[in-house]
């Protein structure tokens, strides 16, 4: 009886010690300094994003791609040394790095891309209407002021305020993945960001009511295809594979893919 | 018909995409098999401690820990346990994700298996134990030679149920970026943007595995029952 207790206590103490060492251990030193270092490394990405698509090209060069459900999970894994770097869009990358002093972004951008809204192939009218609305918003500077409200030194100074109350053309359901600041993210219960304001502006000029559906990034295209949502707006880049299944509007902004690494 | 064939080729043949399913199946099986084995070991230990305590009043401290373990494990979602294992317990330790998943699923399964075993031990009539003890067997011998064989037979259907649940539960390991069977389908889905083929394909693979497992258990049940008549 006594021995069982002693053995158990020892085991428990050993387990606690193990947990303590786990807490104290440091993440390994950074090994990615330029894009040339990527082959053979473990790259963290968010499943189905452009970063995932581009990073997958390195699989044939011996890299391992860890596909997380959320960009933030990939960043967490990077902090703990589970992956060597994370490939993600530049704006969310800046937000992640500003909140984690132990991370930094490689100066060399990984890839350039253009964001667009995706619409089901059967819905060509909607695509044309949105293109028209986007052209107007670009011409009158609304789009610029929406983007400036989130990126740059004047952030927060030019919020977009929806003034439209005429919903005669029905509802515009927007599928998004609100894990992607500053394009779409949650502020309290509300989903906000560049994409949300832009979609609101588009809905206003089309005289439609905007409704937002938050879902996993890799479900957005399927939701739009099946008609569960009318548009998908989530910092989405036009790629050949995506074009096979879905249509895109004109691009509304450009962005870059960058590589986040540990600072030390 | 033609489009179904095309979709099949696009989802599984092009770029060797079936590899995601095949490799994922390997990972899923690896996790499930090890988790079942360690789950049984943990579950048996916990069940023996707890039922010994219930019957004899020994192992007070140990029983308290076992109770705490089952309460915590059964009281929290599997996904959270997995994430805690990955991001908290093994935060900076360089172990493979498969190992983390095996530990998490074993601990989870152990809690459920322990209750199944306990119910089995309790289900054996106390006259059996009394008979064993009065024949001069020790408590341990009575347990090993008389109670456990009968208990095991009683709990086999419930145990098989737990393994089926465990096998399907491993589908949450995608949360720690582990490329298991479900994640394999998700990766294909993220490349082809077709929902039907990858999802249904993966579902069929799970279904086949569960059918094989149940068939095996039914056979085992039949063989164990042959001694009853």
Tell me which DSSP letter residue B122 carries: H
- Closest among A89, A98, A53 to A71, alpha carbons compared: A89
Closest-CA residue of chain B to A53: B191
* Option in A44, A48, A244 nearest B190 (CB): A48
ipTM over 0.90: no
Contact across the interface for B94 and A8, Cβ inside 8 Å: no
Per CB-CB distance under 8 Å, the chain A contacts of B191 are 53, 241
pLDDT digits (tens, 9 = 90+) for A180-223: 888 999 888 899 999 999 999 999 999 999 999 999 888 899 89
For chain A, the domains span 114-254
To the nearest whole number, what is the mean pLDDT of chain A? 88
Contact across the interface for B91 and A69, Cβ inside 8 Å: no
Give φ, ψ of B22 to 5 degrees.
-60, -50
- A214 token code pair: 């938050």
- Closest among A7, A27, A9 to A17, alpha carbons compared: A9
pLDDT higher than threshold 80 for residue A240: yes
Per CB-CB distance under 8 Å, the chain B contacts of A244 are 193
Contact across the interface for B89 and A225, Cβ inside 8 Å: no
Per CB-CB distance under 8 Å, the chain B contacts of A226 are 195
Which residues have C-beta within 8 Å of that of residue B170, sequence separation ≥ 6?
Answer: B28, B31, B32, B35, B101, B105, B180, B181
Contact A29/B at CB under 8 A? no
Other beta carbons within 10 angstroms of residue A102's beta carbon come to: 13
Please tell us whether the domain made up of A114-254 is placed in CATH 3.40.190.10. yes
pLDDT digits (tens, 9 = 90+) for A53-80: 889 889 889 999 999 988 889 999 999 8
CA distances A33 to A64, A66, A87, A262, Å, are 17, 19, 13, 10
Best probe of the B interface among A82, A83, A221, by most B CBs < 10 A, is: A82
pLDDT higher than threshold 60 for residue A21: no
Per CB-CB distance under 8 Å, the chain B contacts of A48 are 186, 189-190
- A234 token code pair: 């989530």
Other beta carbons within 10 angstroms of residue A251's beta carbon come to: 15
Contact across the interface for B94 and A81, Cβ inside 8 Å: yes
pLDDT digits (tens, 9 = 90+) for B53-103: 988 888 889 999 999 999 999 999 999 999 999 988 888 777 888 999 999
Task: Provide the pLDDT confidence category of residue B8 given band limits of 50, 70 and 90.
Answer: confident
Per CB-CB distance under 8 Å, the chain B contacts of A67 are 177, 179, 183, 186-187, 190
Contact A91/B at CB under 8 A? no
Per CB-CB distance under 8 Å, the chain B contacts of A241 are 191-193
Q: What pLDDT score does A187 carry?
A: 86
Q: What pLDDT score does B135 carry?
A: 93
Rounded to a whole number of angstroms, the distance between the first and last alpha carbons of chain A is 51
- Total CB pairs under 8 A between chain A and B: 75
Domains of chain B (ranges; CATH) run 2-222 (1.10.3720.10)
pLDDT digits (tens, 9 = 90+) for A112-149: 889 999 999 999 999 999 999 999 999 999 999 999 99
CA atoms within 13 A on the CB side of A38: 23
Q: What pLDDT score does A16 carry?
A: 67
pLDDT higher than threshold 70 for residue A19: no
Q: What pLDDT score does A22 carry?
A: 54
Distance from CA of A245 to the nearest CA of B (A): 7
Q: What pLDDT score does A44 carry?
A: 94
Give φ, ψ of B88 to 5 degrees.
-115, -60
Other beta carbons within 10 angstroms of residue A169's beta carbon come to: 12
- B84 token code pair: 């805690």
pLDDT digits (tens, 9 = 90+) for B132-179: 999 999 888 998 899 988 998 889 999 999 999 999 999 999 889 898
Task: Provide the pLDDT confidence category of residue A239 given band limits of 50, 70 and 90.
Answer: confident
Q: What pLDDT score does B40 carry?
A: 93
Contact across the interface for A218 and B194, Cβ inside 8 Å: no
Closest-CA residue of chain A to B11: A241
Q: What pLDDT score does A3 carry?
A: 65
Q: DSSP string covering A19-39, please?
A: HHHHHHPPPPPP---SGGG-T
Q: What is the mean pLDDT of residues A142-162?
A: 88
Tell me which DSSP letter residue A207 carries: T
Does the pTM of the predicted model rise above 0.95?
A: no
Contact A240/B at CB under 8 A? no
Q: What pLDDT score does B187 carry?
A: 87
pLDDT digits (tens, 9 = 90+) for B174-193: 889 898 999 999 888 887 87
């Amino acid at each position: 009886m006594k021995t069982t207790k002693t053995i158990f206590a020892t085991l428990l103490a050993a387990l606690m010690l193990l947990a303590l060492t786990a807490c104290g251990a440091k993440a390994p030193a950074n090994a990615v300094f330029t894009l040339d270092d990527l082959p053979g490394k473990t790259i963290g990405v968010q499943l189905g994003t452009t970063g995932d698509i581009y990073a997958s090209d390195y699989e044939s060069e011996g890299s391992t791609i860890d596909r997380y459900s959320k960009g933030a999970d990939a960043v967490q894994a990077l902090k703990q040394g589970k992956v060597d770097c994370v490939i993600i869009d530049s704006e969310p990358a800046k937000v992640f790095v500003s909140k984690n002093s132990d991370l930094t972004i490689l100066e060399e951008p990984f890839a350039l891309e253009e964001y667009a809204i995706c619409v089901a192939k059967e819905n060509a009218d909607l695509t044309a209407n949105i293109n028209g609305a986007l052209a107007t918003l670009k011409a009158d500077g609304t789009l610029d002021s929406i983007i400036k409200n989130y990126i740059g030194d004047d952030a927060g100074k030019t919020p977009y305020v929806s003034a439209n109350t005429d919903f005669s053309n029905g509802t515009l359901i927007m599928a998004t993945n609100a894990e992607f600041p500053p394009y779409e993210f949650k502020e309290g219960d509300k989903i906000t960001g560049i994409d949300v304001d832009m979609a609101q502006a588009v809905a206003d000029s089309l005289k439609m009511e905007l409704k937002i559906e938050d879902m996993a990034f890799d479900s957005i295209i399927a939701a739009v295809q099946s008609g569960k949502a009318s548009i998908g707006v989530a910092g989405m880049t036009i790629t050949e594979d995506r074009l096979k299944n879905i249509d895109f509007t004109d691009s509304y902004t450009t962005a870059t893919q960058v590589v986040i690494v540990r600072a030390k | 018909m033609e489009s179904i064939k095309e979709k099949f080729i696009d989802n599984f043949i092009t770029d060797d995409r079936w590899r995601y399913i095949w490799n994922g199946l390997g990972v899923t099986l690896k996790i499930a098999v090890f988790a079942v084995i360690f789950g049984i070991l943990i579950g048996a230990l916990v069940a023996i401690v707890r039922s010994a305590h219930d019957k004899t009043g020994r192992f007070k401290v140990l029983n308290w820990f076992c109770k705490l373990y089952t309460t915590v494990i059964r009281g929290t979602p599997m996904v959270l346990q997995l994430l805690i294992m990955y991001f908290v317990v093994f935060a900076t330790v360089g172990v493979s994700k498969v190992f983390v998943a095996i530990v998490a699923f074993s601990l989870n399964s152990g809690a459920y298996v322990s209750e199944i075993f306990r119910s089995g031990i309790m289900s054996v009539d106390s006259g059996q134990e009394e008979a064993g003890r009065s024949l001069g067997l020790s408590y341990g011998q009575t347990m090993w030679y008389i109670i456990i064989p009968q208990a095991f037979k009683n709990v086999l259907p419930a145990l098989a149920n737990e393994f089926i649940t465990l096998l399907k539960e491993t589908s949450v390991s995608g949360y720690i970026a582990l490329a298991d069977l479900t994640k394999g389908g998700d990766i294909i889905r993220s490349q082809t943007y077709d929902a039907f083929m990858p999802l249904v394909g993966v579902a069929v693979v799970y279904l086949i595995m569960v059918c094989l497992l149940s068939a095996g258990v039914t056979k085992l049940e039949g063989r164990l029952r042959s001694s009853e008549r």
